[in-house]
Amino acid sequence: MTPQSEDFSAWYNEVVFKAELVERGPVRGTMVIRPYGYRIWELLQADMDRRIKETGHDNAYFPLLIPESYMQREAEHVEGFSPELAVVTHAGGKELEEPLIIRPTSETIIGEMMAKWISSYRDLPLLLNQWANVVRWELRPRMWLRTTEFLWQEGHTAHADEADAMAETLLALDMYARVARDVAAMPVIEGEKTPGERFAGAKRTFTVEGMMRDGRALQSGTSHYMGENFARAFGIQYSADSGEQRFCHTTSWGMSARMVGGVIMTHGDDKGLVLPPRLAPYQVVIVPIGRGDQASQVLAPASELAERLRRAGIRTHVDTREQLSPGFKFNDWEMRGVPIRLELGPRDLAAGSALMSPRLGDGKTPVSLDSAPARLEFELTSFQSMLLRRATDFRDSHTATVDMWESFAEAVRTGWAIAFHCGQTDCEDDIKAATSATPRCIPADGEPEEGICIRCNAPSAYGKRVIFGRSY
């Protein structure tokens, strides 16, 4: 496999195919998600879905095809998405009277339904979520990160006032941050996007940003406060308790399967994937050692051990591929990122133990078969925590607070720069042209501070520093 230090992009492309996460689809920019890759997404999805429902949201489903006129009702929204739209002009052997847009996001179709379902303040808040696929025509596709069709969830809510809608916006952002840290072991930064980086049609956009092992940033989830923009465009109104007709304040927020790409690039190494236990399809793989009669002696105890581990809630697999050598299997599961590998041979059985090899550990450690479930549960928890610490240390060591342009340019070559910014879009464009870096966010926990813009020397606009970095 190509080393990360030699060509990170080549390493990434090799690992997603060699680990059998995806295959290229027949249409440019699409991907087939293979079972091993889809299981990672399922585990992430299940955790996120639980959190969404626990906060009072209901899942629904809306059509894939959206009338073109819906997209045109909110001018900034349609302008922002126009270059990425896939449009259906013919169906049933005839040209359509009105073209149909294949869903790039669902604010418009959901806004139309909200206008029908909301009439009184008693109907608020309306808290909806959708798990779906969307299509955005990508010019430079990359598996998991930017594909023409991808999987995601999108929350859409309507509220009586700005305060309630903003509380919802930040609630969703907090959910994304917790999923990233607790499940994906990604140490994300929460913050607000600058005006030039906002979602099309939003009044405020918030993001969680993670650093990959090449120093680039990955936007891992976004939450948007729409104000009354979509409510006015689609007539989403309610009767207040005073009888007055008012427009709702709406939000939308989304996290996609690009989070899987983030996991790959946050934790992977030159040997392949490194999967956090909470997202690993198999947390433990048992490799029986021996051939012929020895193999038959080991298989039954290996299966029994696997069943005991499964009963303890540990996702376990026994590698029974007879045509492959143990060495091949070791390398294969290492490349697939399995957190813990157990070797079980006749000598191990006689000693009442198995040999444990953690994905990032050195050497092999005997583990008692009697206490294996409790020991492995401890090891998996420790491995999950270690990955978060390791990624946090990497991010912090590749982040610099700078006040000079030369230091800024040097910092964003290998990581992030924290600097003052004037907030002007043309200045952002100039910074991007010179360094390929963009403002990732105004960090929520940034200390109040005043200064001059790192590029144009105008006064800073946000009362704190902004994180800049190259991104995916």
Q: Say whether both 198 and 305 belong to one domain.
A: no
- The predicted structure's pLDDT at residue 170: 98
How far apart (Å, rounded) are the C-alpha atoms in residues 220 and 263?
Answer: 10
Q: What is the pLDDT of residue 72?
A: 87
> In the beta sheet, which residues pair with residue 225?
204, 251
Q: What is the CATH number of the domain that holds 406?
A: 3.30.110.30
Asked, for residue 209, whether it belongs to a domain, the answer is yes
Domain boundary among 236, 267, 298: 267
The answer to whether position 274 is within a domain reads: no
Question: Domain containing 318 — which CATH number?
Answer: 3.40.50.800
Query: What's the domain range around 349?
Result: 282-377
Cα separation, 87 vs 63, in Å, equals: 14
Domain check: are 47 and 178 in the same one? yes
pLDDT means per 10 residues, the chain with 472 residues, are: 97 98 96 98 98 98 96 78 92 97 95 98 98 94 96 98 98 98 98 95 97 97 96 97 97 98 98 98 96 81 97 98 93 98 95 97 93 98 98 98 98 98 97 98 95 97 97 96
Shared-domain flag, residues 357 and 246 = no
CA pair distance 444, 357, nearest whole angstrom: 40
Report DSSP letters for 396-410, one per residue: HHTEEE--SHHHHHH
Domain count, the chain: 3
Edge-first strand listing for the sheet containing 65-67: 65-67, 94-102, 87-91
Is the residue at 394 inside a domain?
no
In a domain, residue 276? The reply is no
The per-residue pLDDT for 77 is 72
pLDDT at 78: 72
- Determine, yes or no, domain membership for 386: no
- Paired sense of beta strands 399-401 and 416-419, if any: parallel
Query: Domain check: are 233 and 336 in the same one?
Result: no
d(C-alpha 385, C-alpha 390), whole Å: 9
Q: Which of 331, 346, 377 is the last residue of a domain?
A: 377
Both 293 and 148 in a single domain?
no
Q: What is the DSSP letter of 254?
A: E
In the structure encoding, which two tokens stand for residue 245, read together? 């007709």
Q: What is the pLDDT of residue 203?
A: 97
Whether residue 160 sits in one domain with residue 135: yes
The residue count of the chain comes to 472
DSSP state of 195: G
Q: Is residue 432 part of a domain?
A: yes
Q: Are residues 126 and 189 in the same domain?
A: yes
Structure tokens that stand for 300 in this block: 């039954």
pLDDT number for residue 52? 98
Same domain, 257 and 369: no
Query: What six digits make up the tokens of 96?
Result: 């359509």
pLDDT at residue number 296: 78
Query: pLDDT value at position 36?
Result: 98
Query: Is residue 3 assigned to a domain?
Result: no
User: 246 and 302, same structural domain?
Assistant: no
Which pLDDT score is estimated for 128?
A: 98
Using CA atoms, how far apart are residues 422 and 50, in angstroms rounded to an integer?
40
Distances (CA, A) of 281 to 164, 182, 276: 38, 17, 10
The token pair at 104 is 């790039």
Question: How much is the pLDDT for 286?
Answer: 98
